[in-house]
A and B are shown apart, each in its own frame.
Chain A
Amino acid sequence: GESVGLHLPTLSVQEGDNSIINCAYSNSASDYFIWYKQESGKGPQFIIDIRSNMDKRQGQRVTVLLNKTVKHLSLQIAATQPGDSAVYFCAESVNDYKLSFGAGTTVTVRA
């Protein structure tokens, strides 16, 4: 995997490798977290979400990890594919009907 720990605005990954995208959230009261993928010219698309009473959740090829102690969220993508090239956003919510989005990480998959 690559880029553990720090949020990076860009991430270049070899096809077939695992990717790790990091996100630091700001509000310790946030109880819901979500990852979105946005491809060029499209709206954000849901990837996976997690509530604050969990620290890990798995989906198809994706895993989200939540560390509330250091207010850190990460998205792991297994066996990265060319179709995974996109901008990835994390977002948090405190049950106030809105999501607060992070700055985004642009993932480029190298063939």
Chain B
Amino acid sequence: KAGVTQTPRYLIKTRGQQVTLSCSPISGHRSVSWYQQTPGQGLQFLFEYFSETQRNKGNFPGRFSGRQFSNSRSEMNVSTLELGDSALYLCASSPHRENTGELFFGEGSRLTVL
């Protein structure tokens, strides 16, 4: 079974630009979560989707948004990029519907903002 796939793996943007990151969950997994990982803040929760509905959102500004499609694939978007948005963005999928359980992480998209 293929794991969680994230694209692109690496990207470089400049301040003020926007970026879209993509995530394909493990087949059959309907929950998709996004996390931001930085050396200073560690792993921070961005949002979680299940069946195209956002069920929870972390404490990030409105520049960070996401969505999930009917095939469970997910995208996140960051608009008006700032230097501090440089991070590893991790997507995780889960087969669990009701309770938080094990999350299966992808290898991440490393964003550098110049």
Could you list which residues of chain A lie within 8 angstroms of chain B, going by C-beta atoms?
A: 32, 34, 36, 41-46, 49, 89, 91, 93, 95-104
Expressed in whole angstroms, the Cα–Cα distance for A46 and B94 within the complex equals 12
When the two chains form their complex, are residues A89 and B100 in contact, meaning their CB atoms are under 8 A apart? no
Contact of A96 among B4, B31, B56 (CB under 8 A): B56
Contact A45-B100, Cβ < 8 Å, known A98-B48, A101-B42: no
B51 to chain A, nearest CB (A): 12
Expressed in whole angstroms, the Cα–Cα distance for A44 and B58 within the complex equals 19
Expressed in whole angstroms, the Cα–Cα distance for A95 and B102 within the complex equals 12
Instruction: Report the count of interface residues on B (CB-CB < 8 A).
Output: 25
Total residue contacts A-B, CB cutoff 8 A? 59
Expressed in whole angstroms, the Cα–Cα distance for A100 and B43 within the complex equals 8
Could you say which residues of chain A place their CB within 8 Å of the CB of B104? Answer: 46
Expressed in whole angstroms, the Cα–Cα distance for A32 and B103 within the complex equals 12
Q: Which of B13-21, B66-74, B79-87, B105-113 contacts A (4 or more CB under 8 A)?
A: B105-113
Expressed in whole angstroms, the Cα–Cα distance for A102 and B37 within the complex equals 12
Contact of B58 among A98, A102, A103 (CB under 8 A): A98
Could you say which residues of chain B place their CB within 8 Å of the CB of A98? Answer: 33, 45, 48, 56, 58, 100
For B1-23 the 0/1 string (1 means CB < 8 A from A) is: 00010000000000000000000
Contact of A97 among B4, B31, B102, B105 (CB under 8 A): B31
Could you say which residues of chain B place their CB within 8 Å of the CB of A45? Answer: 105
